[in-house]
């Protein structure tokens, strides 16, 4: 009999540990969440001025964050950059930047892009099809496959390049060669820096598009704490380089341990790995019995995605993977 898991939300995402607890028991503190692609060793919060909490975010703090972002991502001087309360807040609003038409979003990929365009009245095409498209979305690298689109050439009047996971390999960013009059690049802070709860993301594009997005978001879109932590983190290149090395080593370790259980690596990034397995729901249930949560997909019953555990959690994760038997996961 096939294992069962909590009912997926209308648009499936990682997370949902509360639902896992309802099915498999335990306390939240006992669970290891590998269902997301969030760095399990977050950037240290450090000290913060009291004004970050007690006053409205000021322009100086916002300017400091944007300077750090410009320097890190080498944003061209002629381009504009906007900080927002998470990349998802931008994804929901950016379809309104253009008149409705047909957008091509090759799947499978992060499903909020299609949802945002559909909600704005666009026709969404998930594969190449005859007929002109007025917009295109790529996720670079893709989630969940990890595919890079290094040869991507914009062929519509509006291209959205979601680089939420690109900070694991910043040299592969498409930003330096894009025409930002017709393209908009999204960046996520929470994933690589491991502070998803801070809700911080960025849009990079031409000044007209960025001004429209800023108007949609309204005043003070980013909290005072997010401004201060973000500015410090984006400028800390030593931490970023050390993190990339650790993530690469941990991704290789996960691949090796899963390969020993006959899982076939399909891709991913150094923040998450994607495997072909016999029965993804059975694997999810097996790991959940050890209070480890994973990601499965409604469109591929043999795909299992695993994030990477924090260093102290590796022994539990390794033991759970090694204990999987044919009976458990076939």
Average pLDDT over residues 278-282: 95
Residue 123 belongs to some domain of the structure: yes
- Residue 267 dihedral angles phi and psi, to the nearest 5°: 140, -150
Q: Please report the pLDDT score of residue 12 as a whole number.
A: 67
pLDDT reading at 7 higher than 70: no
Task: Name the residue with tokens 């190449």.
Answer: 128
Average pLDDT over residues 214-232: 97
Residue 323 belongs to some domain of the structure: yes
Q: Please report the pLDDT score of residue 228 as a whole number.
A: 97
Confidence of residue 3 (pLDDT cuts 50, 70, 90): very low
Same domain for 23 and 93?
no
pLDDT reading at 188 higher than 90: yes
Residue 202 belongs to some domain of the structure: yes
pLDDT reading at 70 higher than 70: yes
Same domain for 73 and 135?
yes
Residue 2 belongs to some domain of the structure: no
Q: Please report the pLDDT score of residue 2 as a whole number.
A: 42
Confidence of residue 323 (pLDDT cuts 50, 70, 90): very high
Average pLDDT over residues 190-196: 97
Report the number of distinct structural domains present in the chain.
Answer: 2
Same domain for 211 and 263?
no
Does 48 or 32 have the greater pLDDT score? 32
Confidence of residue 106 (pLDDT cuts 50, 70, 90): confident
Residue 227 belongs to some domain of the structure: yes
Nearest Cα residue to 26 out of 229, 316, 319: 316
pLDDT reading at 1 higher than 70: no
Average pLDDT over residues 258-287: 96
Q: Please report the pLDDT score of residue 131 as a whole number.
A: 66
Cα 219 from chain centre: 25
Task: Give the model confidence (pLDDT) of 116-134 as tens digits.
Answer: 999 999 999 987 666 679 9
Residue 111 belongs to some domain of the structure: yes
Average pLDDT over residues 205-223: 97
Average pLDDT over the chain, rounded to an integer: 93
Spell out the long-range contacts of 61-66 with Cβ–Cβ below 8 A and sequence spacing 24 or more.
Answer: 61/224, 61/227, 61/228, 61/231, 62/222, 62/227, 64/227, 64/231, 65/222, 65/227, 65/230, 65/231, 65/234
Residue 35 belongs to some domain of the structure: yes
CATH value at residue 289: 3.90.1150.10
Confidence of residue 79 (pLDDT cuts 50, 70, 90): very high
Task: Give the model confidence (pLDDT) of 141-156 as tens digits.
Answer: 999 999 999 999 888 9
Structure token pair of residue 145? 């496959």
Which of 187, 219, 235 terminates a domain? The answer is 235
Rounded CA gap, 58 and 38, in Å? 29
Contact residues for 280 (Cβ-Cβ < 8 A; gap 6+): 296, 297, 300, 301, 302, 303, 304
DSSP secondary structure code for residue 167 in this structure: G
Q: Please report the pLDDT score of residue 127 as a whole number.
A: 72
Same domain for 228 and 254?
no
Q: Do residues 102 and 131 make contact, with C-beta atoms less than 8 angstroms apart? A: yes
The string of DSSP letters for 183-206 reads: EEEEEESTTTTS-GGG--EEEEE-
pTM to 2 decimals? Answer: 0.92
**Burial category of 245 from C-beta neighbours within 10 Å (exposed 0-12, middle 13-18, buried 19 and up):** exposed
Q: Please report the pLDDT score of residue 107 as a whole number.
A: 86
Q: Give the structural domain span for 314.
A: 17-41+238-329
Same domain for 198 and 77?
yes
Structure token pair of residue 195? 């502070």
CATH value at residue 153: 3.40.640.10
Structure token pair of residue 130? 């005859």
Rounded CA gap, 299 and 224, in Å? 40
Q: Please report the pLDDT score of residue 121 as a whole number.
A: 97
Structure token pair of residue 142? 């893709």
Q: Please report the pLDDT score of residue 325 as a whole number.
A: 77
pLDDT reading at 326 higher than 80: no
Same domain for 22 and 62?
no
Which of 193, 220, 235 terminates a domain? The answer is 235
Cα 179 from chain centre: 24
Same domain for 315 and 278?
yes
Q: Please report the pLDDT score of residue 327 as a whole number.
A: 65
Same domain for 220 and 312?
no
**Burial category of 5 from C-beta neighbours within 10 Å (exposed 0-12, middle 13-18, buried 19 and up):** buried
Nearest Cα residue to 158 out of 214, 114, 94, 215: 94
Residue 190 belongs to some domain of the structure: yes
Same domain for 303 and 183?
no
Same domain for 184 and 323?
no
Q: Among residues of the chain, what percentage have pLDDT more than 90?
A: 87
Average pLDDT over residues 282-286: 96
Which of 170, 205, 235 terminates a domain? The answer is 235
Same domain for 114 and 203?
yes
Q: Do residues 273 and 247 make contact, with C-beta atoms less than 8 angstroms apart? A: no
Same domain for 93 and 197?
yes
């Amino acid at each position: 009999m096939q294992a069962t898991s909590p009912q997926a939300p209308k648009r499936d995402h990682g997370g949902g540990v509360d639902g896992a607890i309802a099915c498999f028991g335990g306390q939240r503190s006992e669970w290891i969440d590998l269902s997301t692609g969030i760095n399990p060793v977050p950037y240290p919060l450090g000290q913060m001025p009291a004004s970050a909490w007690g006053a409205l975010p000021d322009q100086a703090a916002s300017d400091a964050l944007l300077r750090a972002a410009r320097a890190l991502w080498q944003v061209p001087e002629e381009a504009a950059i906007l900080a927002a309360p998470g990349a998802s807040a931008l994804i929901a609003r950016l379809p309104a930047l253009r008149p409705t038409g047909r957008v091509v979003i090759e799947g499978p990929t992060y499903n909020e892009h299609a949802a945002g365009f559909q909600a704005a009245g666009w026709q969404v095409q998930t594969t190449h099809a005859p007929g002109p498209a007025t917009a295109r979305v790529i996720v670079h690298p893709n989630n969940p496959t990890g595919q890079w689109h290094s040869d991507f050439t914009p062929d519509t009047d509006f291209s959205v390049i979601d680089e939420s996971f690109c900070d694991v390999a910043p040299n592969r960013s498409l930003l330096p060669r894009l025409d930002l009059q017709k393209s908009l690049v999204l960046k996520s802070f929470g994933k690589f820096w491991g502070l998803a709860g801070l809700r911080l993301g960025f849009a990079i594009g031409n000044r007209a598009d960025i001004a429209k997005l800023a108007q949609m978001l309204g005043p003070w879109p980013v909290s005072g704490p997010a401004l201060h932590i973000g500015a410090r983190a984006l400028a800390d290149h030593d931490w970023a380089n050390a993190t990339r090395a650790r993530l690469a080593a941990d991704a290789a370790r996960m691949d090796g341990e899963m390969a020993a259980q006959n899982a076939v690596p399909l891709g991913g990034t150094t923040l998450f790995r994607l495997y072909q397995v016999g029965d993804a729901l059975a694997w999810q249930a097996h790991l959940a019995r050890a209070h480890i949560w994973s990601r499965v997909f409604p469109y591929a019953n043999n795909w299992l995605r695993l994030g990477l555990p924090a260093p102290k959690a590796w022994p539990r994760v390794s033991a759970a993977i090694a204990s999987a038997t044919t009976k458990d996961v076939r």
